[in-house]
Amino acid sequence: MREKPGAHGRDPKSTRPVIKPATQHLGEVRLIGGLYRGRKLPVADRPELRPTPDRVRETLFNWLGQDLCGWRVLDAFAGSGALGFEAASRGAAEVLLLEADAGLAASLRASRERLGAAALKVERAEALRWMAGAAPQRFELVLLDPPFDAGLGAAAVAAAARLVVPGGFVYLEGPAPLADPPAGLVLHRSLRAGAVHAQLFVAGE
């Protein structure tokens, strides 16, 4: 993703770039459940950012159950962080947010500090590349909400399939449903809300 001019400032005492959070905000997204219920996350003014709608997030965590205590969760295309922060809010033991954009990653870290979300970690990384190199069967839940019109759904699910433990879940959100999940994943639940298709797959035991 191409950075906007001025996204990297310089600390006069250092030769290393200072990464600034994305400051032009389209709005905010409100967390809807758990410990951080009612708290807000900023949504940067980026055309590729489309935070998961409230109705879809509410349905997803009804499917999963409201208590994720002990779960290890990966939010692979974090963006605003809405999905990953919702998981942390519901007690997940570890939540890793991947975000390739430096400004968005900085904003996610700022939100982490503001909310005191100790279980949540932000890593600047390209999601597909990171998942390809990660250890298998590491997570109980992988959340996938790639840039809406990027066509990454099938590749993302295939990469995530090897990362979930038996009985774990892979969630995909996008403009069209995935017709043929990779071997080892079975469609568990699905919904459509306007232009958004959401699918929850479960890994075989």
User: Is residue 163 a contact partner of residue 136, using CB atoms and an 8 Å limit?
Assistant: yes
Number of Cβ within a 10 Å radius of residue 124: 18
Q: How far is CA 146 from CA 45, 167, 205, in A?
A: 16, 23, 27
H helices, E strands: number in the chain: 5, 11
User: Is residue 28 a contact partner of residue 81, using CB atoms and an 8 Å limit?
Assistant: no
Distance of alpha carbon 200 from alpha carbon 181, whole angstroms: 11
Q: Would you state the pLDDT for residue 159?
A: 97
Query: pLDDT for 45-86, tens place per residue?
Result: 877 778 888 999 999 999 999 899 999 999 999 999 999 999
- The whole-chain average pLDDT of the chain stands at 88
Percent of the chain with pLDDT over 90: 76
Beta bridge partners of 30: 40
Distance of alpha carbon 43 from alpha carbon 103, whole angstroms: 12
Global pTM reads 0.86
Secondary structure letter of residue 87 according to DSSP: H
Number of Cβ within a 10 Å radius of residue 156: 23
Q: Would you state the pLDDT for residue 26?
A: 57
User: Is residue 28 a contact partner of residue 44, using CB atoms and an 8 Å limit?
Assistant: no
Domains in the chain with CATH codes: 8-203 (3.40.50.150)
